[in-house]
């Protein structure tokens, strides 16, 4: 049963937040427009898909959880309205193909919304207040 839960978590992780994300920094072909330069993410937490996925930011670091299980963490930078996260550590919730050095891209839509794209799916992340 425990293996089935892990398998289900892995499948959902891949399907929902595979984080081999390509975000549209410009309005050339899909994605979302908007954004905010000078965004301060430190101390914020964001959820998607009703809380199945979570990303939090602290200082210059990020942490990703899936179903509450630590998946990966690392550092991030912000350029304009694009957040680039670089993985430096993997946890038990990480998908098998994840590796240190992976990049994950988010686009800041407004102060309460982030956007990311996984394969052909659009995901909107809501700030937890």
| pLDDT value at 20 more than 60 | no
Fold (topology level) of 2-127: Lipocalin (2.40.128)
Chain segment 37-54, per-residue pLDDT in tens: 456 899 999 999 888 899
Domain boundaries, the chain: 2-127
* The residue to which tokens 């937040």 are assigned: 17
Burial of 103 (0-12, 13-18, 19+ CB in 10 A): middle
| pLDDT value at 10 more than 80 | no
Neighbours of 72 (CB within 10 A): 25
Q: What's the whole-model pTM score? A: 0.69
For residues 65 and 100, give the distance between their C-alpha atoms in angstroms, rounded to a whole number.
16
């Amino acid at each position: 049963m425990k293996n089935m839960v892990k398998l289900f978590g892995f499948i959902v992780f891949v399907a929902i937040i595979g984080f081999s994300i390509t975000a549209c920094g410009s309005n050339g072909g899909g994605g979302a427009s908007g954004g905010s330069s000078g965004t301060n993410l430190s101390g914020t937490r964001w959820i998607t898909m009703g809380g199945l996925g979570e990303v939090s930011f602290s200082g210059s670091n990020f942490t990703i959880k899936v179903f509450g299980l630590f998946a990966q963490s690392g550092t991030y930078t912000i350029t304009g309205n694009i957040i680039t996260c670089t993985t430096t550590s993997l946890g038990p919730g990480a998908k098998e193909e994840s590796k240190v050095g992976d990049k994950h891209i988010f686009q800041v839509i407004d102060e309460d919304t982030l956007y990311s794209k996984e394969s052909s799916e659009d995901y909107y992340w809501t700030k937890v207040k």
